[in-house]
Amino acid sequence: MINSKQKLVVIGNGMAGINTVEQILKLTDKYEITVLGNEPHPNYNRIMLSYVLEGSKTIEDIILNDLQWYEDQGITLYTGKTVRSIDGERKRIHTEDGLEIDYDVALVATGSQSFILPIPGKELPGVIGFRDIADCSAMLEAAKTYKKAAVIGGGLLGLEAAKGLVNLGMDVTVVHLMEDLMERQLDREASAMLKAELERQGIKFAMQMQTAEVYGQDRVQGLRFSDGSELEADLVVMAVGIKPNIQVAVQSGIETKRGIVVDDLMRTSMPDVYAVGECAEHRGICYGLVAPLFEQGSVIAKHFAGADTEGYQGSVVSTKLKISGVDVFSAGEFITAPEHTVIVAKDEWKRTYKKVLLRENKIVGAVLFGDVSESASLQKYVRQQTLMTDEIYGQLMGTGCCQDGAKTLSAETMADDEIVCGCNGVTKKAIVDAIHENGLTTVDEIKACTGATRSCGGCKPVVEQILQYVLGDSFQTTAKQGICGCTTLSRDEIVEAIRTKGLTTTREVMNVLGWHNDEGCSKCRPALNYYLGMINPDTYENEEDSRFVNERLHANIQKDGTFTVVPRMYGGVTTPEDLKKIADVSLKYNVKVVKVTGGQRLDLIGVRKEDLPKVWEELDMPSGYAYAKSLRTVKTCVGSQFCRFGTQDSMGMGEVLERKFERLDFPAKFKLAVNGCPRNCAESCTKDIGIVGNDGGWEIFIGGNGGIKARLADSLCKVKTDAELIDIVAGVMQFYRETGQYLERTSEWVERTGLEEIRKAVVHDIENRKALIERIEFALQQVEDPWKKIIHDADSRKNLFEVVTPSIV
């Protein structure tokens, strides 16, 4: 059978090329596609390289299309192949290792490479760029041995590299030629705010310094500047810019300038050969940001599918930066000139800054720092040179309302083809269609379906606006719903009523506050039980029938009706004697599997319900609370006791924290991790509280989550002593206990409450922190480990099986 499909060969396996392929596949199936990539990896997200560098993500985490995807789409993928030239007459592509592939249509998507300063010493080992996985791997390896790094370049890429290296425990200095950071995207005010924030996060700066030489013998030892001064460094990252990879075009006789010259349909000077992405030069401009690359890909896809397209008209360049809570955005013009009308709002307490530039009353530029929720609207206004109106002013500056009192939604005026998620090229229309077709009601559902917010998360506010815009009244109804269907009251209203009315039992709460269902439900009864105990730890008697079945039985029920038992191992450390107990009990009671858990404990899987009391009695070990809304685990590395890199006693601190706080109830399960050094072997970045040791003390992170709603923890503060560390941890825990919604993980709590609000309540307000510590200490004094009753009290063991409310599972 003759294959009627045209042969499309894509040279380059990066984001621009594969996104174009994805868009083509959505519109037509008339191409037989072959992809040639010079890296040994499938398509991955280069935007996320800084997260790989800092250790919060792996290479696998940033893969956008795995090998199975290529197979499922019928795409032939060659990795590790560098293309030498294109033979336009024979329509054949030649690789450097001798492979020849025929094409009907070719797409060059070779991207760009780091620009290496042409200075003495640039060839020394330890001098690298920051552009691909190989660069990341080289930096990760260097950080294991070397301590001082210099990053040349204070732009977007340089700052991301610097933050990643700081998180690896290196002493990092950013060397920048200009007076201001990101001077091509930010004005002086925003640049100064950015520098101050990054300094708080541990990055040092050498501004207005011109690098004249890299010096060293067998390896780089430092930088020498034009004024004769020097900076010691055993790793140098050059992030001064990029240059398009145009070698293939040059070797093939295709017209090039700075990049591969293309027209509005992205055609090169060679027939049937197109170019997309950072390697392409359109109307004299090479774009190095993601959104323009996806816009170019959309034009190519429509053209290849035979659909109407006006061609690529160029892009309004915008920049969005997000590193460890630093949000920055700029679009269009950003330096104030005499002809501009300037609208400015600055809040030093919230560390936010907003500037909008007008020329002849048209919006021509904007800069945002700290709060970038209006970035999508501003990008559109700048691109369209929109006239400023009172309505738009009110929307942007937070003073305008619609007739019904609701703030104007920028989502309503966004064009359907406007890209909302630049990292993954997701348009407004794609999100709207997904909501309608799949009945989506949450941002997480949109992320799973479309990929929007999948990467940096910067577009989440806009996605939320679109969701609200599409759902309309149903969104508002959902937002105003109570903690469950039994009540319209929110968590805060219920807690306030318990305090002011002196309510003491779940039954009393439901009766006084007018519950629709007199018996409550499996959502509200456990929540009320928690709130009552949190508010009155000394007088409230825990109601077992308002707890989930796992909490009542002190074990996790499995799908076959058996249970898992998890003894506590403080800080992941055990003894030979305890291991022998676990082995003896496992054999005696026919435990199916003994599994090492992610929290450094042993899970006895397959215990029969009737054997649970005896199992606990014979183990004679504390419960690990693997079933409870409480402190589950404190994961530790071996730290300074054993590790050659360890600077702090992580095992000792982990045991102290676990023993101190193990008995408390929380709104949701709670996990800690303690690292003895910034190498983060205990994975602090995905824990509710993560602690990282360094030479000067400890750094505390909060709000991490490695589950379904994965989230990197935010840096809260640094402390110098163990006592300060314990106090801050206690303060955060109690503030979360008092303000968190039931079943709300800290990852959601931090985003809802705001990092600065938590920092203010626990770190900056010393008196408030003392009060929080007093309350948590008081609560700890009232709590007895229920596990002890199960082992030592026969009546408690008997009552263990009296399941009063089987609906709560």
Q: Using pLDDT thresholds of 50, 70 and 90, give the confidence band for residue 407.
A: very low
DSSP, collapsed to helix, strand or coil, labels residue 560 as coil
Percentage above 70 pLDDT, the chain:
90
Q: Is residue 217 predicted with pLDDT exceeding 50?
A: yes
Could you tell me where the DSSP H helices lie in 89-187? 133-145, 156-167
What are the structure tokens assigned to 805, written together? Answer: 């409310």
What confidence score (pLDDT) does residue 107 get?
98
What confidence score (pLDDT) does residue 802 get?
43
Domain with CATH 3.50.50.60 in the chain: 6-112+244-305, 127-240
Q: Using pLDDT thresholds of 50, 70 and 90, give the confidence band for residue 642.
A: confident
What are the structure tokens assigned to 133, written together? Answer: 């996985």
The span from the CA of 599 to the CA of 633, in Å, is: 6
Residue type for 241, please? G
What confidence score (pLDDT) does residue 383 get?
84
What confidence score (pLDDT) does residue 737 get?
95
Selected from 3.30.413.10, 2.40.37.10, 1.20.5.440, 3.30.200.20, the CATH number assigned to the domain covering 629-784 reads 3.30.413.10
DSSP, collapsed to helix, strand or coil, labels residue 7 as strand
Q: Which range has the top average pLDDT, 281-285, 568-572, 705-709? A: 281-285
- pLDDT tens, 312-350? 999 877 776 655 557 888 888 988 889 999 999 998 887
- pLDDT tens, 752-775? 899 999 999 999 999 999 999 999
Q: In the predicted model, what is the mean pLDDT of the chain?
A: 86
What confidence score (pLDDT) does residue 479 get?
42
What are the structure tokens assigned to 313, written together? Answer: 């008209």
Exposure of 409 by Cβ count < 10 A (0-12 exposed, 13-18 middle, 19+ buried)? middle
DSSP, collapsed to helix, strand or coil, labels residue 205 as strand
Domain with CATH 3.30.413.10 in the chain: 629-784
The span from the CA of 540 to the CA of 746, in Å, is: 25
Q: Using pLDDT thresholds of 50, 70 and 90, give the confidence band for residue 783.
A: confident
Q: Which fold has domain 127-240?
A: FAD/NAD(P)-binding domain (3.50.50)
- pLDDT tens, 565-586? 888 888 888 889 999 999 999 9
- pLDDT tens, 623-639? 887 878 889 899 999 89
Cα–chain center distance at 19? 21
Measuring CA to CA, which residue among 570, 626, 562 is closest to residue 597?
626
Q: Using pLDDT thresholds of 50, 70 and 90, give the confidence band for residue 785.
A: low
What confidence score (pLDDT) does residue 784 get?
66
What confidence score (pLDDT) does residue 62 get?
84
The pTM of the full predicted model, rounded to 2 decimals, is 0.56
DSSP, collapsed to helix, strand or coil, labels residue 291 as helix
Q: Are 303 and 297 in contact (CB under 8 A)?
A: no
Measuring CA to CA, which residue among 214, 244, 231 is closest to residue 117?
214
Instruction: List, in order, residues 6 or more apart from 225 with CB less than 8 Å away.
Output: 209, 210, 211, 212, 231
Q: Is residue 189 predicted with pLDDT exceeding 80?
A: yes
Q: What is the DSSP annotation of 701-763?
A: EE--B-STT-BPPEEEEEESSHHHHHHHHHHHHHHHHHHPPTT--HHHHHHHH-HHHHHIIII
Q: Using pLDDT thresholds of 50, 70 and 90, give the confidence band for residue 32.
A: very high
The domain defined by 6-112+244-305 carries CATH number 3.40.50.261: no
Q: Are 466 and 373 in contact (CB under 8 A)?
A: no
The mean pLDDT of 234-239, rounded to a whole number, is 95
What confidence score (pLDDT) does residue 326 get?
76
What confidence score (pLDDT) does residue 489 get?
87
Q: Using pLDDT thresholds of 50, 70 and 90, give the confidence band for residue 790.
A: very low
Token look-up 């985003």 returns 751
Indicate the range of 183-192, 318-327, 688-697 predicted with least confidence: 318-327
The span from the CA of 574 to the CA of 559, in Å, is: 29
What is the side-by-side order of every strand in the sheet holding 211-216?
211-216, 220-225, 230-232
- pLDDT tens, 90-120? 999 999 999 999 999 999 999 999 889 999 9
Q: Is residue 621 predicted with pLDDT exceeding 80?
A: yes
Indicate the range of 321-325, 509-513, 527-531 predicted with least confidence: 321-325
What confidence score (pLDDT) does residue 805 get?
33
The span from the CA of 671 to the CA of 226, in Å, is: 50
Longest dimension (CA), the chain: 90
Q: Is residue 458 predicted with pLDDT exceeding 70?
A: no
Q: How many CB atoms lie within 10 A of CB 206?
A: 17
What confidence score (pLDDT) does residue 236 get?
96
